[in-house]
Amino acid sequence: MWNDTDTPIAYLITFRTYGTWLHGDERGSVDRHNNVYGTPRIRRNDTWQRIETRSLIREPVLLDARRRGAVENAIRDTCKKRGWNLIAINVRTNHIHALVGASKQPDQILTAFKANATRQMRDAGCWDSELSPWAEKGSKRHLWNEKSVGLAADYVINGQGDDLPTFE
């Protein structure tokens, strides 16, 4: 059944680590000029990817087991402290998916997740850079009905590949 209010019942928040998915990548990408829901991604472009790679100011950031644990704890703590309903979470080596019900704008949720994950990694001693470990922006999908939330939860929990090891 469709939610006919102007408020989504949940958001699928996705954000990536710095430098791990650049324009031109074979997986495709979106930019501010090509970011309409349901339209194809920008295709692989080796020249664009080389330019993007050269523009990096540091090495790409990957999340090992310790960092993944800190990020997950930070997102869980953020949701608990703010009264948000964390429905599903999956922290991968180069991106994070969090399915959350909250009465906040998704930009505020994304910003809180990134800031608190960075702080938690610093507190845990696994991030010592003054620079952010995150790529700019992130995806904030609005979910309007229970079916969409269920599909998103399945994607977050079961659609990310094999479980990651917890050892270093």
Point out which residues pair with 134 in neighbouring strands.
17
CATH class of 1-20+61-160: alpha beta
pLDDT value at position 17? 94
Provide the Cα torsion 149, 16, 157, 72; round to 10°.
Answer: -100
pLDDT value at position 19? 81
pLDDT value at position 32? 62
Phi, psi of 4 (to 5 degrees): -95, 20
User: Which amino acid type is present at position 44?
Assistant: R
Could you tell me where in the chain the CATH 3.30.70.1290 domains are found?
A: 1-20+61-160
Instruction: Say how many C-beta atoms besides its own lie within 10 A of residue 27's C-beta.
Output: 8
Half-sphere exposure of 94 (CA within 13 A, CB side): 9
Return per-residue pLDDT of the chain as tens, 168 residues.
555 567 899 999 999 998 887 665 666 566 666 556 566 666 766 776 676 777 778 888 999 999 999 999 999 999 999 999 999 999 999 999 999 999 999 999 999 999 999 999 999 999 999 999 999 989 899 999 999 999 999 999 998 877 776 655
Phi, psi of 73 (to 5 degrees): -60, -40
Contact, 70 vs 120, CB < 8 A? yes
Q: pTM for the complete prediction?
A: 0.83
Q: What is the DSSP string of 9-71?
A: SEEEEEEEBTTSS-TT-TT-B-BTTB--TTSPPBPP-HHHHHHHHHH-SSPPP---HHHHHHH
pLDDT value at position 36? 61
Phi, psi of 139 (to 5 degrees): -95, 140
User: What is residue 101's three-state secondary structure?
Assistant: strand
- Write the CA distances from 28 to 49, 144, 162, integer angstroms: 11, 26, 22
Query: What size, in residues, is the chain?
Result: 168
